[in-house]
Amino acid sequence: MKMLLFLALALHSCVASPASHSLDRSDITLAVNVALKAYLATVTDPVALNPHIEYKIDAPLVADVLLTMDGATLAGVKGIEAENCLLTGTGTQDISLNFRAAELTLTMPAYSMNGTVVDHIPLQGEGQASIVVEDLVASLVGKGTATISPFNVQFTEIALDLELFRWTVDFQDLAPGTDLGTVFNQFFSMCGPEIFDILEIRLNEGDGLLNFINGIFKP
């Protein structure tokens, strides 16, 4: 679902830190949060996502489905915070940026889903849906160069790690005409970590993530 849309928002928020704050190297977490707070003050919550989103969920033994979303919004972005950020070394530095969201809610006024789950069970549906993600941590770890005030960073190598406590999935009118909708929602709610692992792998492939982050954090 390009479900790291909330992460992209958090990263966009760190483009610059107000020059009035004088920060030293030990204050990198504060520097990121200052920039984050300044940006989020300009954001309307919930955030309107792309009008039409398609996402292929291809998780072995879990699901092989195509999910489309129209008019989706993401709520809770103003609660995103940076924590335990690290910057060490000179020249090429070791950089670790960590973002935590206590709760994010993806709301879909109109979705459609078509495919199979558990390798062979047909699954389809369309209607309204929501996904509530609890305690999500997105970590960017790599090497590069950075400055604190204003905050900017250019990575030469980077890796993304995603961890969450749980997510709760509610797709209405899933498997219409049967009692399987509730079962499927419970099944998808249990598979949150596995689906996020698939997303994490995709985002770490190639140079797309590196170029994207460097484009956001350029001086």
What CA–CA distance (Å, rounded) separates 6 from 99? 10
Cβ neighbours of 188 (radius 10 Å): 24
Opening angle at CA 96, ends 91 and 101, nearest 5:
150
When divided into structural domains, the chain yields a total of: 1
Question: Which neighbouring-strand residues pair with 48?
Answer: 73
Q: What is the pLDDT of residue 131?
A: 95
pTM value is 0.79
Question: According to the model, what pLDDT value does residue 113 have?
Answer: 95
CATH at 212 = 3.15.10
Q: What is the pLDDT of residue 7?
A: 47
Q: What is the pLDDT along the chain (219 residues), one digit of tens a residue?
A: 433 444 444 444 333 333 333 344 448 899 888 878 877 888 899 999 999 999 888 888 788 999 999 999 999 999 999 999 998 877 788 999 999 999 999 999 999 999 998 878 888 999 999 999 999 999 999 999 888 878 888 899 999 999 999 999 999 999 888 888 888 899 889 888 888 888 888 889 888 888 888 877 666
Q: What's the confidence (pLDDT) of residue 23?
A: 42
Contacts of residue 82, defined as CB under 8 A and 6 or more positions apart, other chains included, come to 10, 14, 29, 32, 33, 36, 97, 98, 99, 100
State the Cα–Cα distance between residues 123 and 97, nearest whole angstrom: 38
Write down the pLDDT at residue 20.
34
Partnered with residue 152 across adjacent β-strands are 147
Please give the pLDDT value at position 203: 85
Please give the structure tokens belonging to residue 209: 């993530």
* Separation between Cα atoms, residue 45 and residue 77, nearest integer Å: 7
Provide the residue range defining the domain that includes 53: 5-217
Of 140, 183, 133, the C-alpha closest to 6 is 133
Residue from 111, 36, 126, 33 nearest 71 by CA: 111
pLDDT of residue 32: 83
> How much is the pLDDT for 124?
92
